[in-house]
Amino acid sequence: MLRMGMIGGGLGAFIGPVHRRAAELDGNIRLVAGAFSRSADTSRASGLAYGIAPERTYPDYRTMLAEEARRPDGIQFVSIVTPNDMHFAIARDAITAGIGVVSDKPATTTLAQAIELRQVIRDNSGAYALTYTYTGYPMLREARALVADGALGALRKVVVEYYQGWLATPGERTGNKQAEWRTDPDRAGIGGCVGDIGVHAFNLAEFVTSSRVQELNADLSKVVPGRTLDDDCTILVRFANNVPGLIAASQIATGERNGLRLRVYGEKGGLDWCHERPDLLVLNRADGVTECRHAGSDSLGPSARAATRLPAGHPEGFFEALANIYGDFAQMLSSKQERGDGLLQTIDEGVRSMAFVETAVESSANRRWMGLRDV
Amino acid sequence: MLRMGMIGGGLGAFIGPVHRRAAELDGNIRLVAGAFSRSADTSRASGLAYGIAPERTYPDYRTMLAEEARRPDGIQFVSIVTPNDMHFAIARDAITAGIGVVSDKPATTTLAQAIELRQVIRDNSGAYALTYTYTGYPMLREARALVADGALGALRKVVVEYYQGWLATPGERTGNKQAEWRTDPDRAGIGGCVGDIGVHAFNLAEFVTSSRVQELNADLSKVVPGRTLDDDCTILVRFANNVPGLIAASQIATGERNGLRLRVYGEKGGLDWCHERPDLLVLNRADGVTECRHAGSDSLGPSARAATRLPAGHPEGFFEALANIYGDFAQMLSSKQERGDGLLQTIDEGVRSMAFVETAVESSANRRWMGLRDV
Amino acid sequence: MLRMGMIGGGLGAFIGPVHRRAAELDGNIRLVAGAFSRSADTSRASGLAYGIAPERTYPDYRTMLAEEARRPDGIQFVSIVTPNDMHFAIARDAITAGIGVVSDKPATTTLAQAIELRQVIRDNSGAYALTYTYTGYPMLREARALVADGALGALRKVVVEYYQGWLATPGERTGNKQAEWRTDPDRAGIGGCVGDIGVHAFNLAEFVTSSRVQELNADLSKVVPGRTLDDDCTILVRFANNVPGLIAASQIATGERNGLRLRVYGEKGGLDWCHERPDLLVLNRADGVTECRHAGSDSLGPSARAATRLPAGHPEGFFEALANIYGDFAQMLSSKQERGDGLLQTIDEGVRSMAFVETAVESSANRRWMGLRDV
Amino acid sequence: MLRMGMIGGGLGAFIGPVHRRAAELDGNIRLVAGAFSRSADTSRASGLAYGIAPERTYPDYRTMLAEEARRPDGIQFVSIVTPNDMHFAIARDAITAGIGVVSDKPATTTLAQAIELRQVIRDNSGAYALTYTYTGYPMLREARALVADGALGALRKVVVEYYQGWLATPGERTGNKQAEWRTDPDRAGIGGCVGDIGVHAFNLAEFVTSSRVQELNADLSKVVPGRTLDDDCTILVRFANNVPGLIAASQIATGERNGLRLRVYGEKGGLDWCHERPDLLVLNRADGVTECRHAGSDSLGPSARAATRLPAGHPEGFFEALANIYGDFAQMLSSKQERGDGLLQTIDEGVRSMAFVETAVESSANRRWMGLRDV
């Protein structure tokens, strides 16, 4: 049983309880300490509500790191679920203190910070993971394995779209807290839609194909009048070997919920996966027959099977996908070994994501193709 | 935080960890004690693996009930996840000991036992819930609310089907433990498919419509040669006011995973829900427009909203549905009040389910319509 | 080019133009004569509108049969699209006159008539086909071929449902002509929903499986108050070898359009087809992978390929399915040979359908199982 | 009854019989003459097979235009179904001869020709239509009407994709005739995938939104080694008012059949339509409810209702969509009036399409944004 501390996620926060549920789901991690808020009072009240021992509910994260490091039963890692602008400093301090980190994405708010954090992690042999939740879904792991095993033959084309509609109206002017910070460059960074969800699409494209975007040409739009950050982006990309691709995301696609969809085409077939039905992976074969594969089925590969708890036909969802990431991290931490299978998203993917966002913003501003640096 | 003990669900068992995850998901219940196996050794090893204090891991359930009843921090309820034939005795003993019960279905193995258990619960003002997991899905709660609110007008027709394919081959002869006990009348009772999953379809039909089956005409089949219990059943039913309906279940529908589907038709529209996409409730309106409603959406009613943790487009599944049942039970136990909304399935539904199974078996044997007694 | 006469289908009729389009679609049949209405005036006006030579537009069908039989370029067959109660007499007279018959279903209004018509056809070596339109869909022909070829292994279970909602309100009291005659026993015969669409479900079940229903137990309902004929039916059936099945149809399933769906399960897999997406045939394999096969695909068998005009991904629909039946009939007529492949529905299926309807009505009235005679 | 001549479409051709079926479907057009092939022998044999009078089967199109113009019962229009490079000359000659034209797309092979043809049509007050078949689908007409009626509010985003997989392998090297000419710049023109199907996506985007693309940034790829024309294209576009959009097409998306999909987002909702299920139009409302509208339903607008022949639930497909275009043209020709509703695609759309293709090719070659001229 690994001992986890949480930073952020106090009462009223949305994402804290989500991570708590996911971390504890499989019974090998337990939340035992927390600095749940910048307000010491809120942190204390939250700890009480979450059943944390009062002496392990801390007024701030630095105190927690210091105190827990001294305890024989101290936390082994922290889960960072604060607003984005705190991720970097907390991760750096935790790693430096010898404590592992599971960080909500993005790793940092700038590419420079991400590179710095990478160095810190390397220098300290730190254990670090980013919760790109979608990479925890079993059928995306199956997709990745199928591509890697050559089931599609040579890669031909990659399309990942992520369409939401919740910012189709200017909620930031009517008190929607989520809308407020996500449309505010001071808090969200230079990327709006591209940084919030476009980056998920990008990460997934590379995750599933094990190939890398080499250059891109981005069209970022501020569709709802009055916005200073993009709320819609469509990005032409080229992968290695000049394979064409598309990364598209929107938060003004009215009526869309959380429409993440990935399609990968190779010489021998095409894969299709949608988040709204995550247990299904469609393989369109070149011979015209479509194969649907189902999570929980015995016919899947080992990475998908390891990421499922229930037999086929029993839906698992977002919490379980996130739990898979916590589980992978726990396994790494327990074994003190890198996993080596590339399933866990690390600071490398964090660096890459930040490079993607910064390049996309610059490409769109200049309206031209740009290389995506491998930094 | 409520304290839960578990009976059954030791290492190697499937359903124990499922219930543990669901019970603890929302952070208001914690597993603190257990009698995880008839084998004291297995129970002890399981408790260790589950992080239970050694002194609260018991060699048998009677010891647990006795010891925990004495502790000031003793368990407030037990979760019964043993094989079916133990449900009755354990529930009776726990209730008698003043300890609440969440029992995996079926409540008992005979109607007579169910009636007896109901009396015990009444006599002791016991807290008791049955985990008819599907009733925990938000969109089925929405469906129930829509019917109750008259959105469909007068009820016209009800169709619930539950098709699985995993018993299409005689797995009971090739070492499949699940297949072995489910096809064995000594362990499964008189109902095979009808008792295992037909009863879910029946329960759901009554849950969503708030109407009751009055009579039925069952056709139970032993399709795979050599079986002594039914592995397929199709049952004509009549609800109150002579409303026609159909309850169909199969375990030999090759290739089906867990195909539970409910359709309810009223004067003004028809509802359609499938377990493979649980976040979706379809309302076919009389004017020819189909409305799809999505879990997590603000436009849903209070019971569906209360049963969802994530925004629309973020799938929740089986664990979360079961967690909703534990949550309802926890709320009832904490408030020491019946909920009154009919969402929690109690011994009344347990009695009714056993009456359904016994009547169906008899109807099929006699090949004729029979009344379904309200006992 | 075969020459066709039409009986019924005058101006204002719905089904006449449907059959005209289907018959002429592939360019090997041409409508050249007609007795389009019991009213000579309407018949004449219709012929004019349809571009038929005035001298070949007849005031009644008997005159047409007599006159056309004398012409060297006379019609080779008639398409009967009158109300049901005329089908028998016209078919009998045409066959006796040596003219082929394509008849809208039902063949007759009673089983006795169907048997008599069968004898007339045999005695005259007549060419006769019934337009059970769904049997013309390529993917149902593929389904039939897959079952016949053993792709599913031994037959295990058959479920055909056909749900409509258009009679959920008493349209027969508000001027809906279609509703009026279909709910009137004098015009529709003894079967309401069972005779109108239940019989399609029955026909399809036997068509796809090449197996026959041996006995049935029907539950016919008059759901909308005031009806004298059933508007909903659910029918337990047993095929040869005691294979269980279900035939269900409804016209009061509010919000359903034309929801015909067929599922056939065998030892090795299950087939699933829905009329709302007719180009798709789903094969759920026993290994848990679902295969979707698409009309127009090269990987299909010969009967499906012969029934498709366009490449995969180009939808064909109801007209094309009906055109396939006309095409099969044309081929038979041209070659003067029975087809032998069982694709064309003949008077044998007409007799069988009438037996099904009459048995279902009697079974429901007596509330018991009855054998389905092979007459 | 309008009299039609056909140019091209002789025996062995695919598209001729498709147009013949569509033109004649509704009984107001009849094919009475043809110049079916450049080979006089093939033309004659084809006319015989199609039931055309021998004296009206011509050895070449010029003879047909001349002879038919002299007949009192001469053809009123021609259907041009030749290879692309003949479209321009035939259309010009027919219009000049006072004969109407229905032309398979593209109108011409260059923008300059299209502009010239437009002038000819204007000068002669000619009747001309292009068969952009998808514009004939009822639910795309409903979509167009909904956008025009303001159901979506201000336009926000447009995405049209058209993915096929049939050129994923180099069929042009293994004898696939369709692949040969489509990958050959001499016969296909400067656009490969963009000219063949990208242009359909473009046309549909403008058809449904009644808005025009102002600028574009195209990424055309030659994915399969050895090709000189693009077989994949992804094109960033901006509509009026800087509305962002995406036009994407591919012929190397392995396993895709004919995956045309349109999504249009406005302030108040989003529309979604897929060709594989053409009878369905999805409206994602801003309040989170999804509405599905069905072809044949009474609740649709007049343009959709006029484009449907059957009640809801009875699929119509590609032939019927094309028949709607012929029907619109017939109505225009009969009434000698422009329709004025914009449903019929004319030489204006032909010019626009050629401008799109040429601009896309140039933009991709230069890797930059370019304006789309309104010529």
The one-letter code for the residue type at C217 is N
Which positions in chain B have a beta carbon within 8 angstroms of at least one beta carbon in chain C?
152, 156-157, 159, 165, 168-169, 217, 219, 221, 223, 232, 234, 236, 242-244, 246, 248, 250, 252-257, 263, 265-270, 283-286, 288, 290, 367-369
pLDDT value at residue D13:
83
Confidence of residue B374 (pLDDT cuts 50, 70, 90): confident
**Residues A16-54 pLDDT 10s:** 899 999 999 999 999 999 999 999 999 999 999 888 999
Strands A77-80 and A100-103, bridge-based pairing:
parallel
Sign of CA dihedral D219, D224, D226, D232: negative
Contacts of A269 in chain D (CB under 8 A): 254-255
Contacts of C366 in chain B (CB under 8 A): none
ipTM over 0.90: yes
| Nearest residue of A to residue D157, measured between CA atoms | A253
pLDDT value at residue A11:
87
pLDDT value at residue A134:
98
Q: How far is B113 from chain A (nearest CA, A)?
A: 30
pLDDT value at residue A68:
97
Confidence of residue D111 (pLDDT cuts 50, 70, 90): very high
Q: How many contacts does B have with D, using Cβ atoms within 8 A?
A: 42
Contacts of B169 in chain A (CB under 8 A): none
Q: Which of the 8 DSSP states describes residue C55? A: G
What mean pLDDT comes out for the span A194-207? 98
- Locate C78 and state its tokens: 């008639």
Q: Do A168 and D267 touch (CB under 8 A)?
A: yes
| Closest among C159, A176, D77 to B221, alpha carbons compared | C159
Q: Which residues contact C61 (CB under 8 A, 6 or more apart)?
A: C7, C35, C78, C90, C93
pLDDT at position A338 over 80: no
Are residues B168 and B250 in contact, defined by beta-carbon separation less than 8 angstroms? Answer: no
3-state secondary structure of B125: coil
Q: Do D291 and B293 touch (CB under 8 A)?
A: no
| Closest among B272, D310, B254 to C320, alpha carbons compared | D310
Q: How far is B198 from chain A (nearest CA, A)?
A: 16
Chains that touch C (3 or more CB pairs under 8 A): A, B, D
Q: Do C312 and A287 touch (CB under 8 A)?
A: no
| Nearest residue of A to residue C284, measured between CA atoms | A292
Q: Do D270 and A255 touch (CB under 8 A)?
A: yes
Helix (H) or strand (E) holding D285: strand D280-285
Instruction: Quote the pTM value.
Output: 0.97
Tell me the HSE value of D118 on the side-chain side, using a 13 A CA sphere: 17
Mutant choice from C282, C283, C290 vs A, greatest count of A C-beta within 10 A: C290
**Angle in degrees, 0-180, between the axes of helices C347-366 and C199-209, rounded to the nearest 10:** 120
Burial class (CB in 10 A: 0-12, 13-18, 19+), C138: buried
Indicate the Cα dihedral angle B144, B149, B155, B159, nearest 10°: -20
pLDDT value at residue D351:
98
Q: Give the largest Cα separation in chain D, rounded.
A: 64
Q: How many contacts does A have with D, using Cβ atoms within 8 A?
A: 130
What mean pLDDT comes out for the span D159-166? 98
- Locate D270 and state its tokens: 């989003």
Contacts of C290 in chain A (CB under 8 A): 291-294
- Residue ranges of E strands in chain A: 2-7, 29-35, 77-80, 100-103, 128-130, 155-163, 213-221, 232-239, 244-250, 259-266, 269-274, 280-285, 290-294, 370-371
Which positions in chain C have a beta carbon within 8 angstroms of at least one beta carbon in chain B?
152, 156-157, 159, 165, 168-169, 217, 219, 221, 223, 232, 234, 236, 242-244, 246, 248, 250, 252-257, 263, 265-270, 283-286, 288, 290, 367-369
Chains that touch D (3 or more CB pairs under 8 A): A, B, C
Q: Which of the 8 DSSP states describes residue D61? A: H
pLDDT value at residue A186:
87
Contacts of A18 in chain B (CB under 8 A): 309-310
Q: Do B292 and D292 touch (CB under 8 A)?
A: yes
Instruction: Name the least confident of A318-327, C339-348, D312-321.
Output: C339-348
**Residues A100-139 pLDDT 10s:** 999 999 999 999 999 999 999 999 999 999 999 999 999 9
Across the interface, which of C244, C254, C285 has its CB nearest the CB of B266?
C254
pLDDT at position D339 over 80: no
Topology adopted by domain B137-308+346-366: Dihydrodipicolinate Reductase; domain 2 (3.30.360)
Contacts of D168 in chain A (CB under 8 A): 156, 265, 267, 286
**C-alpha–C-alpha distance, residues A307 and A320, integer Å:** 8
| Nearest residue of A to residue B312, measured between CA atoms | A257
Across the interface, which of B287, B288, B292 has its CB nearest the CB of D290?
B292
Q: Do C258 and D294 touch (CB under 8 A)?
A: no
Q: Do D299 and B293 touch (CB under 8 A)?
A: no
pLDDT value at residue D14:
83
pLDDT value at residue C15:
86
Residue B229 φ/ψ, nearest 5 degrees: -110, 155
What are D80's strand-pairing partners?
A: D7, D103
**Residues D73-110 pLDDT 10s:** 999 999 999 989 999 999 999 999 999 999 999 999 99
* C-beta neighbour count of D97 within 10 angstroms: 16
3-state secondary structure of A194: helix
The residue length of chain D stands at 375
**C-alpha–C-alpha distance, residues B23 and A2, integer Å:** 20
The residues spanned by each domain of chain C are 2-130, 137-310+346-366
pLDDT value at residue D1:
86
Burial class (CB in 10 A: 0-12, 13-18, 19+), B374: exposed
**C-alpha–C-alpha distance, residues D311 and D375, integer Å:** 42
Are residues C235 and C218 in contact, defined by beta-carbon separation less than 8 angstroms? Answer: yes
pLDDT value at residue C147:
98
Q: What phi-psi label fits residue B120: left (phi over 0), alpha (psi between -120 and 50 degrees) or beta?
A: alpha
Q: Do A317 and B317 touch (CB under 8 A)?
A: yes
Which positions in chain B have a beta carbon within 8 angstroms of at least one beta carbon in chain D?
287-294, 297-299, 312
Q: Do C290 and A292 touch (CB under 8 A)?
A: yes
**Residues D205-264 pLDDT 10s:** 999 999 999 999 999 999 999 999 999 999 999 999 999 999 999 999 999 999 999 999
Q: Do C292 and A289 touch (CB under 8 A)?
A: yes
Q: Do A232 and D283 touch (CB under 8 A)?
A: no
pLDDT value at residue C178:
86
**C-alpha–C-alpha distance, residues D237 and D123, integer Å:** 33
3-state secondary structure of B181: helix
Are residues B80 and B65 in contact, defined by beta-carbon separation less than 8 angstroms? Answer: no
Mutant choice from B163, B254, B256 vs C, greatest count of C C-beta within 10 A: B254
Segments of chain C scoring below 50 in pLDDT: none
CATH architecture of D136-308+346-366: 2-Layer Sandwich (3.30)
- Tokens 């890797």, residue? D367
What mean pLDDT comes out for the span A350-359? 98
Which residue stretches of chain B are H helix?
A: 15-24, 40-50, 61-70, 87-96, 111-124, 138-148, 177-182, 185-188, 193, 199-209, 302-306, 318-335, 347-366
Are residues C35 and C59 in contact, defined by beta-carbon separation less than 8 angstroms? Answer: yes
CATH number of this structure's domain C2-130, picked from the four choices 3.40.50.10860, 3.40.50.720, 3.40.630.30, 3.40.190.10: 3.40.50.720
Q: Do A294 and C287 touch (CB under 8 A)?
A: no
pLDDT value at residue D338:
76
Mutant choice from D300, D319, D320, D324 vs C, greatest count of C C-beta within 10 A: D319
Q: How many contacts does B have with C, using Cβ atoms within 8 A?
A: 130
What superfamily does domain A137-311+346-366 belong to in CATH? Dihydrodipicolinate Reductase; domain 2 (3.30.360.10)
pLDDT value at residue D154:
96
Contacts of C316 in chain D (CB under 8 A): 315, 317-319
| Closest among D139, D258, D296, D193 to C315, alpha carbons compared | D258
Across the interface, which of C256, C312, C317 has its CB nearest the CB of D316?
C317
Across the interface, which of D223, D252, D270 has its CB nearest the CB of A254?
D270
Mutant choice from A46, A320, A322 vs B, greatest count of B C-beta within 10 A: A320
Across the interface, which of D287, D288, D293 has its CB nearest the CB of B289?
D293
**C-alpha–C-alpha distance, residues C234 and B246, integer Å:** 8
**C-alpha–C-alpha distance, residues C305 and C298, integer Å:** 8
**C-alpha–C-alpha distance, residues C80 and C67, integer Å:** 17
Contacts of A299 in chain C (CB under 8 A): 287-289
pLDDT at position A240 over 80: yes
Across the interface, which of B50, B316, B318 has its CB nearest the CB of A314?
B318
CATH architecture of C137-310+346-366: 2-Layer Sandwich (3.30)
Helix (H) or strand (E) holding C64: helix C61-70
| Nearest residue of D to residue B292, measured between CA atoms | D290
The mean predicted confidence, pLDDT, of chain D is 96
Q: How far is C118 from chain A (nearest CA, A)?
A: 42
